[in-house]
Every structure is written in structure tokens, then in C-alpha cells.
Chains A and B, each alone.
Chain A
């Protein structure tokens, strides 16, 4: 039996002041986020906020008084890296936002948030998917593996070790998605040669251009993964 972790967020306030755009617990709970926004308001820190956050806070201000339609939260149990999490979620929460913002598994990266870059790739029931396009609420009973769930203690997964060995990255931002995708690529049997690896890894973009080393890493790990599984 996997351990159980109760990560339920507090119930949202039922007053009409609840903002339906307080989506996804952007900073943990609604309260924490409000406090954070209050803290940064009027300080120079606000200038460094990305446009997304500024837009959110603007929307919040515009909607706080007009909203009379509180979000209906939903309870869901998800198995992530072998642990069962009991969660209470805004139905809009993507798997990626759940991982990063609620569970603080920040290995999976948000690149484009539109399924175009692959930085958010995780394994869902052993298959690679873009976690930014999957609503977490739909995954009851499914098994999710993220980059954090690949190593066995201090022993890296052969694909992780191969990326280190072959310098399969520069800045590293796309790397967790590349590694999850690469593991699936090998398991699917789509890592026969360079051309096939390139085609079947085309859903993972690397703006640093580490592609040749990524291909080398996959070819190296391919044999070691077979050795591990056989």
C-alpha cells in the first residue's frame, strides 16, 4: 500500500467575495496568494512580476465585487510517484499546476502551457503526456510519474544518468520533460536510430539546441534500460 498524503486545501470561503479567478491556488491557498499580492502591491517587487501575474491581479480586482458564483471545488485522489494524494481542487487545475503549485513538485516545467514545447511532459500510466493540457480532476485512479519519481534513492534512472554523462542540456529547463519523454520513447520502441529518435522526440523543444547530445544520451540509456528491465 502506498503512503497517503492529505494535501487538501482549506475550503474556499463561501462569501460572494470569492474570486472565481483565484485559479489553481497560484500561490498555494487562496489566502496565501491574496497575502502575497497585498505584500507586493505598491512595492518595486511589483515591477518584476510577469505580465501573467499582473493580469491576474488586475482581474481579481475587477471581479472581487461582481462575483456571486463561487468555484465548486472537487475532491480527488491522485497517485503521484507512488504516493496517494487526497486533494481538493478547482476543476480548472491542470496536472502541471497541481504538481508545481499545490504539491511543490517543481521538476516538471511550464514552458508554453499550450502543449507546444514538451517541458511539462510526465508519464501517465506509463505513457508520456503534456501535463499542461490534462485537467488533474480527470485522473482519479491513474498513476502519474514525474521527474522526481524516476530515481531510486540516490541512484539515478539510466536516462537521467545518460543525460548527465552526455551533457544532454545547457540551461536545463527542458530537461525534465526531455528525460520523461525519452524514457517513454525507448519503452515504446521508437529509439531505433538517430532519425527515429529525432522524429519521436520532436515534441520536446530545446532552445539551447542540445539535440545531438540528447540523441546520444537516449542511445546510451536505451541499452542500459533494457539491461535494467530484463
Chain B
């Protein structure tokens, strides 16, 4: 690991100022991804600004609209079992508990989870010379390489990496809003605009500025989110990244679907909001035919590679199954 200097921030503005003063400084939260990447030599910050003591640890009701605000330093384990989340947004709780291990969830923070880097083998190991994320312009080792865990939607010829988070898939379905603080003050970023598709700049993964600190994630009030589910398909029964995952919620009017919220994990460079599937479901009768039709619509533009084409059919089936589960909920 490269040497770095260390400081501990006493308040969010001090943290922002500390990172703003050094382009090679980074915030240190739970460290479950950053410290690992530093050991690998993928991340080489000159300075770490420790934000673990900041008072961003609350989960609270938003006063005006019935939504919930999650502090950026709320640990994944605490968020997953918080009564406001289990009662109002069970899909988020399920997503969190399907990710990592209890030990890692005790460390990992809400803000840090948003900033997880991809688990693409070619990105994670600097022994591979080609990676447009690590070294822009060097090429993509996964395109012609072993690409079993890679993207089938929204990828580019520069990068076919996937976003590894489960939490973010649920938040994408829930229309979360990310609150950030920078040198110029605070602003909010709608969840759909937080992460980016790779395009020609896969090294730029979010629309967060390097000197901006995530302070909270807001979940809007979605009464029907109590009727929601997270389905994760993976190589092991527990403690593995998603091959494909689905966050789904349904607003029903009798046996008709009033509106649907669907997001996919493991298939794209960002948590993938399945808008086409949602549109296909509006006004339809709930059932396997409509669910499968919606899944077909969403995956129509999918593209597989040598080792990951199975994900296209897997995603269709996972969408169908997740919606079936939600539709059966009382």
C-alpha cells in the first residue's frame, strides 16, 4: 500500500475542505472497498480524511412528506434492520441483507455503498495492463476476456463493468435522492443521475464532484413500497455478488397494475432502472404473461458477450419471478 497522510474530520465542512485542498485526497468511511483497493494498488490516495466520527448516523422521518432521511454514515447493518426501513421500504432492507457479510455490513456505510467500485477482475488487479477505468485509453480487458460477471445493458466499447451494489438497486427503484455537500454548499442529485453509464469515460463513475461529500440519502414517501421485494440470483446461496438482481414494487388497483417500480443489479455500469418494463406493465392485469412481456421489453436491447449471454434470459426470468412474488403479497 502506498503511504498516505491521515486526518480525522470533526464536521462535514472540515471534511470537504480537507479533501478539496488536495486532489489526491479521499474520504474514508467504512473502508471495506477503499482499503481493499488501496491494498491492491488500484486506489493510491495521498491523504485520507476520516469521516467516521461525523454526526451523519441517523435514520429519521422527513417532516413534511412521510419520507425517510438516511445519514451517509449509517452502517448497512443498522439500516437493514431499522424499523422505518423494514416497515416502509422492505425492498431496501432485503437488498442490504443480501449483500456482503454481517462483518462487512457492520463497517460499510450508506454513502460508501453508493461509491463502490466495480468488481471487474481486470479493474481490480493492476497486473492486467488494460482497463479504461484504471488507465483511461488502455483498453478493456473484459471485452475479449473472461466476462461472465459483466454488463448486458448500457455498456460501451470502452467498458462492460457492472456496479456491484445491492443497496443501490433498491434505492434506484425507490427514486431516492442523494444529498451532497461541497465547497459551494449543499445540493441534491436524483438517484437516476447519480451513477453514470461508461460511454467514453468509464473512469468517471458518478456525477459527484471529487470534493463533494455525500451527507444523506432521502427516500420519498411511496406507500405501496411496503409491497416490494428484492430478488438476488448468485453463484452461492449467500455472500456473493449478484449475477442478476431485481428490486420490484407494485401499486395495484384490484388485479390491475396501477404502476410498477423495477430496477436491476448485476447487468449494467449503474443500478438499472427498468423504465421500459415499468411502462409495459402500467394498466395491465398482473400475471405471468404481463410480467414476462415487460421483461422482454426491457431486455430487448441487451447484448451479451462470450461468457455472460446467459444473463439476458436470467434477467427476464428474475424480473418475472420478482414481480410474481410482489403480486402475491397482500
Contact = CB atoms under 8 A, between A and B. Distances in A.
Given A91-B5, A92-B1, A200 B32 contact: no
B50 A203 contact: no
- Residue among A23, A113, A130, A198 with max Cβ neighbours from chain B (10 Å): A130
Contacts of A185: 102
Nearest to B77: A127
Nearest to A140: B8
Interface stretch (B54-62, B103-111, B261-269): B103-111
Given A133-B104, A203-B101, 18 more contacts: A20-B2, A72-B5, A91-B48, A92-B1, A114-B39, A115-B36, A118-B101, A118-B103, A128-B103, A130-B107, A133-B32, A134-B31, A135-B28, A138-B28, A138-B50, A190-B102, A198-B238, A199-B237
Contacts of B5: 72, 91
User: Would you list the 7 A-B pairs with minimal beta carbon distance, nearest first?
Assistant: A203-B101, A202-B238, A202-B239, A91-B6, A20-B3, A127-B106, A203-B103
A181 B102 CA distance: 9
A188 B8 CA distance: 30
6 contacts: A23-B1, A72-B3, A114-B39, A115-B103, A128-B102, A134-B35
A144 interface: no
A133 B107 contact: yes
Contacts of A90: 3
Interface of B: 1-6, 8, 28, 31-32, 35-36, 38-39, 48, 50, 52, 77, 100-104, 106-107, 237-239
Given A113-B39, A128-B103, A188-B102, A135 B239 contact: no
Interface string A31-68: 00000000000000000000000000000000000000
B6 A129 contact: no
Nearest to A130: B103
Contacts of B35: 94, 133-135
Contacts of B238: 198-199, 202
Contact of A137 (B1, B6, B101): B6
Interface in A64-78: 69, 71-72, 74
A121 interface: yes
A115 B102 contact: no
Contact of B32 (A71, A91, A115, A198): A115
Contacts of B50: 138
Contacts of A198: 238
B154 to A, nearest CB: 28
Interface of A: prevailing SS? mixed
A184 interface: yes
Contacts of B48: 91, 135
Contacts of A92: 1, 3-4, 38
- Residue among A90, A115, A128 with max Cβ neighbours from chain B (10 Å): A115
A113 B40 CA distance: 11
Contact of B31 (A69, A91, A121, A135): A135
- Residue among A20, A129, A134 with max Cβ neighbours from chain B (10 Å): A129
Interface in A108-135: 113-115, 118, 121, 124, 127-130, 133-135
A115 B6 CA distance: 22
A133 B36 contact: yes
A131 B100 CA distance: 15
A114 B104 CA distance: 11
A73 to B, nearest CB: 10
Contacts of B239: 202-203
A189 to B, nearest CB: 10
Contacts of B103: 115, 118, 121, 128-130, 181, 203
A170 B102 CA distance: 24
